Amino acid sequence: MLATSHLPRGRMATSMAEPASAFPMEGTSKYQAPQLIARAIAIIVMLFSGTTLIAALFDIEIPSVIAAALGPLRANAAVAFVLLAALLYMSASSERGEAEASLWARRSVETGLAASVALIGLLAFIGYLLDMRSGQPLTANASGGRMSVLSSAAVFLLGIAFLLRNLSLAPVWREWLALIAFASGYLALMGYIYRAEALYRVGPTAIPAPAATCVMLIAGACLLLPPHHGFMRPVVTPNPGGVLVRRLLPVALFVAPVVDLIQTNVAGSLGEAVVGLANVSLLVVLVWATGKAVQIAQSQRARAEENVRATEERLLLALQAAGGGAWDLDLVSQNGWWSPEMYRLWDVSPAVPIRLGGALDLIDPRDRADVQQAAQRAIRDHTTYECEFRLRSDGPQERWMAARGRVHYNASGTPIRLIGITLDISSRKSTEISLRQTNEALARSNVELRRFANVAAHDLQTPLRSVGSFAELLELNYADRLDDTGRQWLRRILDSTAHLHALVRDLLEYSSIEARPLAARPVDLNETLERVLALLQAEIRESGCVVTRSALPVVYGDAAQLSRVLLNLVGNAIKYRSQEPPRVHVDGARKDEGWLITVRDNGIGIDPRHAERIFEMFERLHNGKDYPGTGIGLAICRRVIQRHGGRIWVESQPGKGCTFCFTMPAPPPAPAK
């Protein structure tokens, strides 16, 4: 692995610092600012409407300046606004985790206040409807001191909105009712600014500007109160979209119409008001839509970062489970990032900054050049960076690491980063080294064993020939001087000598299979079988055997060794025959990328339990008197076939003959001209 440097905050750690959710729950610190604004509005409305109510109840003369500011606010409207202000203050002062008894008492009071406010507005509105039904002209004096039609409707809507909030019913409808009340107050206030009477007057009754202001303030504060489920969520969310909406909405609602009125330089009219309100509506929709789009983008980014964080955590856990660590190297600045597991693997303190030179010093001097060359090759050839190296160690045990990474390039093709992982492969390397040493020792042992077998077989042949020759001379010259027992013993000597001679010959052939290089070439098995049948001509004639064959393929192998395989298989088919004349059929068929050769007979068969045993050396299922042989022929066949990359097996049942099968590779395709 290339060296890296530890940064105070890594790339992977950055995404973990982001908030997990774009919408905090009710009662968190994110909602303290809207609640403070709502309480401030409640206090202002309370002072304003309370002053008017006290002056009306106790017939107190208010100074002209204050009276002009308060305006013609009706007593019942003042009562409604006092109740709404108290209700707003209580709703904005609720705390999460409040005791159950206190919560029940507060909600009971709030529900009573909300119902009272809604009743006041409803009674005032019904009064106007009754006047209209009785045919009484709806004049300003006919209102009987009641609040205006717009005021009564707005008060009723606000009372219902607070009632729904306290009962936790229809939260989306609560927001829409508060929005309608806010719109009525805002339109009336804009009517006064543009001098458009139609916006604040219904018939002869007009909502006073102070009342319109109170309605607008209380409705706006009601919209700010949590929880938020509908269109208010993009407004109050703490992400950048919510901040954008909260900063631009006041400008669109209040600054834009005033600037528009100043620019028109006219006294104002309904037409100017309609144009101005259309502009305001368009601005409000654009601001809200922009905030909503930013909120969606922020939510998607938060989810993507959460997915990245979860993926990185799973990757780090997987690396820890595998005994590895992750790293990220900046190829420009030579600084980088290491996971905590990397420091543990390299036995380095996280407080120590690591750069390229320092990390290379931690690598065993025997492997440093290989590590650097692997990195340079990956950067140059745009390939995967892979290398194995040892860490420098003071102890006798070597610590092996395997690094794998990928290079990242900028638009101009310049390498800028190398990211990857490092695994501790000390156990695997130790096993590989032990296995390699064992294989080397085994190879040396096999070579010595083959040499010993050759030497022993050659050395055995000389005394065997001497024993055989002298036994034959004894039988030729002195057989008539021996009694029956002597002649029997002499025959046993000759038979044993012949058997031992055949055994030595087969051992030499078995040991020479691996000793000689494989003279692989295309071999026509038809020609090979013809030569085999010629060698077995005497046995075939004596036994009355009938050998048939299909068209055999051309395979790729050593002709001499393949002749030995067919000689053993056909010879065994003749030797292990039943009472019927032996019949042997040799066939060849395509199998995958090579050929399947079968030798089928009608002999005595083999128990399937011994199907593997017969291919072992010196394993015989029958006695040597009835079926002579050395027990090495099938072992030679398996050794030859395995050396050619194939396998051999037998399919048989006792008394039903045998089918010996082996696979052989096909010749490689001829080169194109």
pLDDT in tens, 263-295: 665 556 777 778 778 888 888 888 888 888 888
Judged by phi (left if over 0) then psi (alpha if -120 to 50, else beta), residue 390 lies in beta
What integer pLDDT is reported at residue 141 of this predicted model? 42
Given a cut of 70, whether residue 507 has pLDDT beyond it is: no
**CATH number of the structural domain spanning residue 388:** 3.30.450.20
Domain assignment of residue 20, yes or no: no
What integer pLDDT is reported at residue 311 of this predicted model? 79
Residues 6+ apart with CB under 8 A from 155: 77, 80, 81, 84, 117, 118, 120, 121, 124, 147, 215
Mean pLDDT of 657-671: 81
**In Å, how far from its chain's centre is CA 448?**
54
Given a cut of 80, whether residue 224 has pLDDT beyond it is: yes
Given a cut of 60, whether residue 326 has pLDDT beyond it is: yes
Whole-model pTM: value is 0.47
Angle, vertex CA 502, rays to CA 498 and CA 505, nearest 5: 140
How far is the C-alpha of 382 from the C-alpha of 385, rounded, in Å?
9
Q: Rounded to a whole number, what is the distance in angstroms from the first to the last CA of the chain?
A: 47
What integer pLDDT is reported at residue 9 of this predicted model? 36
CA–CA distance from 273 to each of 101, 184, 192, 443 (Å)?
51, 14, 10, 102
How far is the C-alpha of 650 from the C-alpha of 611, rounded, in Å?
6
Same domain, 609 and 627: yes
How far is the C-alpha of 329 from the C-alpha of 2, rounded, in Å?
8
Same domain, 529 and 604: yes
Which run of H or E residues covers position 225?
none
Under 8 Å between Cβ of 596 and 647: no
Same domain, 466 and 553: no
User: Helix 171-194 crosses helix 149-166 at what angle (to 10 degrees)?
Assistant: 150
What integer pLDDT is reported at residue 593 of this predicted model? 78
Same domain, 187 and 216: yes
Same domain, 72 and 135: yes
Domain boundary among 161, 196, 226: 226
Same domain, 381 and 454: no
Under 8 Å between Cβ of 107 and 171: no
Domain assignment of residue 237, yes or no: yes
Higher pLDDT, 22 or 464: 464
Mean pLDDT of 420-429: 86
Other Cβ atoms within 10 Å of 578 Cβ, number? 14
* Closest to 232 in 3D by CA, of 240, 39, 222: 222
Higher pLDDT, 494 or 635: 635
Lowest mean pLDDT among 371-375, 408-412, 531-535, 611-615: 611-615
Other Cβ atoms within 10 Å of 324 Cβ, number? 22
How far is the C-alpha of 110 from the C-alpha of 161, rounded, in Å?
12
Same domain, 295 and 273: yes
Domain assignment of residue 16, yes or no: no
Mean pLDDT of 209-237: 84
Domain assignment of residue 530, yes or no: yes
**How long is the chain?**
673
Domain boundary among 226, 258, 277: 226
**What residues does 586 pair with on adjacent strands?**
549, 599
**CATH number of the structural domain spanning residue 461:** 1.10.287.130
Give the total number of structural domains in the chain: 5
Q: Are strands 554-558 and 520-524 parallel, antiparallel or unpaired?
A: antiparallel
User: Which range of residues forms the domain containing residue 137?
Assistant: 31-226
Domain assignment of residue 8, yes or no: no
Mean pLDDT of 508-513: 64
Angle, vertex CA 9, rays to CA 241 and CA 20, nearest 5: 35
Judged by phi (left if over 0) then psi (alpha if -120 to 50, else beta), residue 438 lies in alpha
Mean pLDDT, rounded, of the chain: 78
Higher pLDDT, 530 or 671: 530
Mean pLDDT of 307-319: 78
Domain assignment of residue 6, yes or no: no
Same domain, 525 and 510: no
Higher pLDDT, 13 or 356: 356
Percent of the chain with pLDDT over 90: 7
Same domain, 534 and 559: yes
**Can the peptide bond before residue 582 be classed as cis, meaning omega within 30 degrees of 0?**
no
Given a cut of 60, whether residue 2 has pLDDT beyond it is: no
Domain assignment of residue 376, yes or no: yes
Under 8 Å between Cβ of 141 and 203: no
Domain boundary among 377, 406, 424: 424
Mean pLDDT of 143-167: 82
pLDDT in tens, 450-496: 676 666 666 666 676 677 776 777 777 777 777 778 777 777 777 67
What integer pLDDT is reported at residue 455 of this predicted model? 67
CA–CA distance from 644 to each of 440, 594, 637 (Å)?
23, 11, 11
Residue 156: band (very low, low, confident or very high) from pLDDT cuts 50, 70, 90: very high
Given a cut of 90, whether residue 357 has pLDDT beyond it is: no
Other Cβ atoms within 10 Å of 356 Cβ, number? 17
Same domain, 419 and 437: no
Same domain, 171 and 49: yes
Same domain, 72 and 181: yes
Lowest mean pLDDT among 172-186, 488-502, 503-517: 503-517
Domain assignment of residue 487, yes or no: yes
Residue type, 301: R
